[in-house]
Amino acid sequence: MADDHVVYMLKCGDGSLYTGYTTDLERRLSDHRNGDGAKYTRGRGPLRVVYTEGFPTRRAAMQREYEIKQYPREEKLALVEDGDQAESASGTPSV
């Protein structure tokens, strides 16, 4: 089964982080950039995807989204950093 459900983290232009869930990351990012996404991201551009994690079910993805949202900022930044290291080690993007 494909990982159709994605938890993502955006870095906003003001340096803040936003975590969300989607089944279509490109569409959702476009929504955020056009002001049709979450209220939090409006006016905080430019937005950059800094972390993604795929899941086979909506339930698993939403549980992970909630878990990440509970993390303090430092822990979120560590996730982003770990994702960057995984990308450079494997040669395939994970963020």
| pLDDT tens track for 48-85 | 999 999 999 999 999 999 999 999 999 999 999 987 65
| pLDDT tens track for 15-53 | 999 999 999 999 999 999 999 989 999 999 999 999 999
Q: For the whole model, what pTM was predicted?
A: 0.85
Query: DSSP readout, 6-59?
Result: EEEEEE-TTS-EEEEEES-HHHHHHHHHTT-S-GGGTT--S-EEEEEEEESSHH
- CA dist., res. 42 & res. 71, Å (int): 22
Torsion sign (Cα): 73, 57, 34, 93: positive
**Domain locations in the chain as residue ranges:** 5-90
Give CA torsion, residues 31, 32, 36, 40, to 10 deg.
160
One CATH from 3.40.1440.10, 2.40.30.10, 3.10.300.10, 3.40.50.300 for 5-90: 3.40.1440.10
